[in-house]
Amino acid sequence: MTKTRTILLIAAVLAAGSGAAWYFTRTETPAAGKKGQASPAVPVKLAKAVVQDMPLRLEITGRTEAYETVTLKSRVDGQVQGVAFTEGQHVRQGDILLRLDPADFQARFNQAAANQEKSHAQLAKARADVERYIALRAKGFVSEEKVSEMRTAAAATESTAMADAAAVELARLQLSYATIKAPFAGVVGAKLVFPGTAVKVNDTALAVVNRVRPLYVGFAVPEKYLPQLQAGIRSGKKSMKAAISLPGNGDAWEGDVRFLDNGVDIATGTIQLKAVVPNEDEKLAPGQFVTVSLVLDTLRDTVVVPAEAVQQGPGGSFLFVAKEDSTVEIRKIRVGSLQKQFAVIAGGLAGGETVVIEGHLRLTPGARIRSADAAEGIPAKPDDPGKPGAHETVNKSGKPD
């Protein structure tokens, strides 16, 4: 009895499985018939490639440098008597900044001056003796040998007087070194010594003075741009122009590129340049990071598309080009210069062709497309070459990203 019930239960399970298979087969068969229907058009944004002149602009991170900087040190050993400046003060050339105790130097000067007076008196007596002995020789009272001896003594006394005069000048200079003055107009930094501080000659730092009007901006450019840099600086112009701006700040300044280093840094593959900024408002200070925008050249009659249209694949750069039948094709291209907003196409695309700038992820070769909005063209002229705008991006080391 039990065996019979088991056989019936297995038969019921098999019947249920066959019914489910028939149901799913029946429900999925119509879906297979939809295979021939066309896929929906992919919404994309389009832009036309235009032919225009394009400035080859680099955007580089630089750092400001003082036009002149000096760390003041004492030229004599001594003790600080007074500090005459305020931290951060603007000073003119020759302004007194510090004074050392002048007592020792004054005493040495007085001693040297006294020795000089003594030498002058001895020299006057020696010269008078020579004249007197010459008169006595004429009368036959002294010999020529004695006159020569007196002349030698006078010459020695004169040399001593000259040595004493030099000692006086040295003592005077050492006394003047007790007063430290600003070597040029600029801004003095923090106080590094205070009254009572003992200083050693050419060792103890007293203060730092920076000249900030004008100001240098140092930056590095990849060596591949060296020919354009050399041509720009040696083209007969006074200098190349560079736009200087602070990151995240709307302020901008124009600088003249006046220094091109005499060699390429083999460690980074870059060459150092410096621009001079007037900095009359002193909004820039030495040591700041700034953005340097430098126009190296103007590319004539180049094909330009928005930078977001360029895609990267295993075979290199490519674009999705829209065709007249509302489909797309993949086009391999050669990028001449990739700017921040625009890409200069060196080959593979002609002016007037339409490219996809948004919606790439759903596209395949031959896919149907529809414009998500009206076709958009890029500006006839990119940003003004004299202002920061579309730039090639360069990292802090000076190498292109």
With cut-offs at 50, 70 and 90, classify the pLDDT of residue 266: very high
**Which CATH number is 120's domain given?**
1.10.287.470
The Cβ of residue 128 has, within 10 Å, a number of other Cβ atoms equal to: 12
Cβ atoms of residues 336 and 344 within 8 Å: yes
**One domain for residues 96 and 135:** no
d(CA 180, CA 84): 10
**One domain for residues 311 and 380:** yes
Number of domains in the chain: 4
45-68 residue pLDDT tens:
999 999 998 888 888 999 999 999
pLDDT at residue 338, rounded to an integer = 79
**For 234-351, where are the alpha helices, taking DSSP H only?**
none
Paired residues of 303 in beta bridges: 51, 345
**One domain for residues 92 and 194:** yes
d(CA 191, CA 36): 85
225-249 residue pLDDT tens:
888 888 877 765 556 889 999 988 7
* Model confidence, pTM: 0.66
Lowest-pLDDT choice from 16-25, 39-48, 308-317: 16-25
Cβ atoms of residues 248 and 281 within 8 Å: no
Q: What domain range is 230 assigned to?
A: 216-296
**One domain for residues 310 and 328:** yes
Residue 136 within any structural domain of the chain: yes
d(CA 345, CA 158): 86
> Would strands 78-83 and 198-199 be described as parallel, antiparallel, or unpaired?
antiparallel
**One domain for residues 354 and 382:** yes
Alpha-carbon distances, residue 51 vs 48, 321, 359 (angstroms): 10, 16, 24
Residue 33 within any structural domain of the chain: no
**One domain for residues 145 and 239:** no
**Which CATH number is 266's domain given?**
2.40.30.170
Residue 30 within any structural domain of the chain: no
Q: Using alpha carbons only, what angle is made at residue 265 by residues 264 and 267, rounded to the nearest 5 degrees? A: 140
Residue 22 within any structural domain of the chain: no
Residue 31 within any structural domain of the chain: no
Cβ atoms of residues 109 and 171 within 8 Å: yes
115-137 residue pLDDT tens:
999 999 999 999 999 999 999 99
**One domain for residues 184 and 84:** yes
pLDDT at residue 218, rounded to an integer = 95
d(CA 172, CA 169): 5
d(CA 287, CA 216): 10
**One domain for residues 274 and 371:** no
Element (H, E) at 32: helix 2-32
SS3 223: helix
**One domain for residues 198 and 79:** yes
**One domain for residues 172 and 183:** no
